[in-house]
Amino acid sequence: MLRGLGDPVSGDRAVVVGQGYVGLPLAIAVARSGMTVTGVDLAPDRVAQLNDGESPIGDVTSELLSEVRAAGSYHASVDFDAVADAAAVVLCVPTPYHREAPDLSHVEAASRAVGQYLQPGTLVVLESTTYPGTTEEVLQPILEEASGLKAGVDFDLAFSPERIDPGNATFDIHNTPKIVGGTTPEGTARAAEFYRRFVDTVVEVSCPKTAEMAKLLENTFRHINIALVNELAVLSQDLGVNIWEVIDAAASKPFGFMAFHPGPGVGGHCIPVDPMYLSWRVRQFGGAAKFIELARDVNAAMPSYCVSRVQELLNDRSMALKGARILVLGVAYKPDVADLRESPALPIIQRLLEKGADVAYHDPHVPLLELPDTAPLRSVELTDDLLRFSDCLLILTPHRQVDHEHAARTAPLVFDTRHVVPDGAGPQVYRL
């Protein structure tokens, strides 16, 4: 039964739109909190897989999915009609960044579909990361036009940024604080009450723009600091300084310093993309986000820098990159996940292939790798013979189930971009 506007969420039905890395963990958490959840996704194959109890993502086990399916508290669908009976609707759809501008087509389409079934008294929350103003300037008008209802009068509307960190065994949806900001104080309270069903700590802010900006600050902070340490890694190479030792030494200071580490680039669904939303938004007002743009340039240059280092290491051994056998360890964007979104391994492998290298890769989480203008690559078995006969072992993503020390001691040349090979593994090991 739908409750009155402004009351705590008392209905027992919810809809989560988008059943990917963000939406599926959320839907399962809501289902386990006592509500009946419909997970809406436009991919029929994924919906069928979910209804068969097979999870497509690592953070939700098939056992857990089967548990809520068997209890009758979760169902996947390609249709939006469940919105008509929902107490709460949460949008977790992609917000990619294309051609130097945000692509909100998924948010807009989902908003129109939800609006067609939206009923008075429903709480609608957007979780998709975007620029400040999206909830009130894009989502709200579409919902109101499609439904004939008024936000803050007939239904409540809020923004709550997703904070999913795939593969994180310490922080999950339950113990990661949730920020909520509604278009009205009542909307904020309703959203907070909804999330308190399954989240330990909820942080209420004054409006959706504040919540939207908070998410961008989180990842812009990381984006800029990673760029700083990446630039220092390049400079340290020229200066003959071990940047990893420098970072460890600086981290001994108990205040005023936070350690970031260099790498072959930045990947994932947040750090490479979220700051660009803020930069784009600032440009709409004639401003410039100079730190963000500079950080993007530095981080985007790291794949090319890594290829140039490999080429230099081979040259020092009187070998050309063209025709060299390069074995890549790890292609996912971060350890222990199968997610390839924005992974720096992709442009690195692409550049190596373009320069004529013979590239193979091993990744226990990614069996197949598809790249533009080349035949798909398949993950190879990591054998001692493969390591010994490779001209260079390139470590890009350090999955825990891989014995990197053994691999480094077996290969004739190693370029470790993640500092996972311990000191003393041999003179053939070089670091970023």
Three-class DSSP labels, 237-274: HHHCCCHHHHHHHHCCCCCCCCCCCCCCCCCCCCCCCH
In this structure, are residues 27 and 20 in contact, taking their beta carbons and an 8 Å threshold? no
* Alpha carbon distances (Å) from 314 to 209, 264, 321, 383, 397: 51, 18, 7, 22, 21
Q: In whole angstroms, what is the distance from residue 409 CA to residue 359 CA? A: 20
* Token output for 357: 């290298």
Q: In whole angstroms, what is the distance from residue 90 CA to residue 77 CA? A: 15
* Token output for 404: 């990197």
* Alpha carbon distances (Å) from 430 to 361, 389, 412: 19, 18, 11
Q: In whole angstroms, what is the distance from residue 347 CA to residue 324 CA? A: 18
DSSP, res 344: T
Residue 53's contacts (CB-CB under 8 Å, 6 or more residues apart) are 62, 65, 66, 69
One-letter amino acid at 41 equals D
Let me know if 270 is a catalytic residue: yes
In this structure, are residues 120 and 86 in contact, taking their beta carbons and an 8 Å threshold? no
Give me the residue label for tokens 């959840």.
Answer: 37
Q: State phi, psi for 65 to the nearest 5 degrees.
A: -65, -45
Please tell me which residue in 92, 207, 270, 392 is annotated as part of the active site: 270
Helix (H) or strand (E) holding 124: strand 123-126
Q: Shortest CA distance to 74 belongs to which of 92, 102, 52?
A: 52
Q: Quick one: how far is CA 7 from the chain centroid?
A: 34
Q: Which residues are catalytic?
A: 270
